[in-house]
Amino acid sequence: MNNFTIKSFAPYSLNYLIYIQNAFISRKNEVAKFPSLDTSHWGLLEEKHFCESYKNVWAEMVRRISHNSLTDHNGVLLTEQTLFRELFKTGDQGEIGFEEIGNRFMIGSQVLQDK
């Protein structure tokens, strides 16, 4: 009998950021990456600002997780809204996009957990 333990830790927040990044790449390059949706109305920042903001948001989330792994949980999209909103334009379009991408991510996450 082995006393071998494997721990799997897939942070919700970093998966969410990859989801947003893929949506941005799909829009920019017209390359089908998951999620392959029409994201033109999601109010993501323009390329120059998005790339810089994305690096900062990613680094901040990694920093927070490294200091306390309990920072990342299935409610992180609610508790870290201010941080994640930095990837979206201000105003109605950004607000609507932020809500829509969060809802789609959570629905996709739930589907994967149910399998």
Q: Quick one: pLDDT band at residue 96, thresholds 50, 70, 90?
A: very high
At residue 35, the pLDDT reads 64
**Which residues sit opposite 44 in a β-bridge?**
88
Give residue-wise pLDDT tens across range 42-80.
899 999 999 999 999 999 999 998 888 887 777 788 888
CA–CA dist 44, 69 (Å, integer): 28
Q: Which has the closest alpha carbon to 47: 83, 16, 87, 8? A: 87
Which residues does 105 contact at the CB level (< 8 Å), separation at least 6?
15, 16, 19, 77
Give residue-wise pLDDT tens across range 19-43.
999 888 877 666 666 666 667 778 9
pTM: 0.79
Residue 12 has pLDDT above 80, yes or no: yes
pLDDT (mean) for 8-28: 83
